[in-house]
Amino acid sequence: MVFIADYGAGNLHSVQKAFEYLGVKTVVSADASRLSEYSKVLVPGVGAFGHAIGSFNRSGFSDAIREHIDKGRHVLGICLGMQLFLTESEEMGAHRGLDVVAGKVRLFRDTDEKVPQIGWNSVDYCRDSELFRGIPDKSFFYFVHSYYCDPVHSADVVATTFFGGKNFCSAIEKNGIFAVQFHPEKSSEAGLQVLKNFAKC
């Protein structure tokens, strides 16, 4: 069973429906104290970093997620949920993140491409990842974002995507921490396989 964190900034129901389609049981809850009952936690996210991390802190999810990770349990961040895992974000000012992955969330700058990136783009693997088992390299996933994650340690990056004149980090795997910038619940069969892999890992 997967615990889906409801902290007021998530695309909760589409993710829950995707898991249900796969036959994976879920519970959606805003009660951070319940998180310790589950081995797998999903952090969705749509919206602005500052508002989201504020809600995450007030709700108690920040401490609960850190404790969950310290116990060696698995967590998956999607889109803004991925960005919350990093040290800080520059979105509309400086904001401190969970800092479970060292790095900064940056705005796409100095590009002729339209920002935000909205639509399908390919994902290039940097190394093997449990999250992408059974999914061919350079598969396409659905993105909606203006900011991207820039981890300090290249070893944390398992996939990149080209946009805005650069290869940016589109997936992270680190000691049970999984994160993707794209929306697997909107990414057809490849996206469903990502969710299935997380549920099984």
Query: pLDDT of 87-122, one tens digit each?
Result: 999 998 899 999 999 999 999 998 889 999 999 999
Q: How high is the pLDDT of residue 23?
A: 96
Instruction: List phi, psi (to 5°) of 51.
Output: -65, -45
Confidence class of residue 194 from pLDDT cuts 50, 70 and 90?
Answer: very high
Which of the following CATH numbers is that of domain 2-200: 3.60.15.10, 3.40.366.10, 3.40.50.880, 3.40.50.620?
Answer: 3.40.50.880
Q: Across the strands, what pairs with 120? A: 142
| Catalytic residue IDs | 79, 183, 185
Q: How is the chain split into domains, by residue range?
A: 2-200
pLDDT score of 86 more than 90 = yes
pLDDT score of 78 more than 80 = yes
Q: How high is the pLDDT of residue 37?
A: 94
On whether the CB atoms of residues 27 and 4 are closer than 8 A, the answer is: yes
Amino acid at site 17: K
On whether the CB atoms of residues 65 and 35 are closer than 8 A, the answer is: yes
Supply the mean pLDDT for the chain.
95
Please list, in sequence order, all residues whose beta carbon lies within 8 angstroms of the beta carbon of residue 60, skipping any fewer than 6 positions away.
Answer: 32, 33
Q: Is the peptide bond before 116 cis (omega within 30 degrees of 0)?
A: yes
Task: Indicate whether this model's pTM tops 0.85.
Answer: yes
Q: How high is the pLDDT of residue 47?
A: 84
Average pLDDT, integer, range 18-36: 95
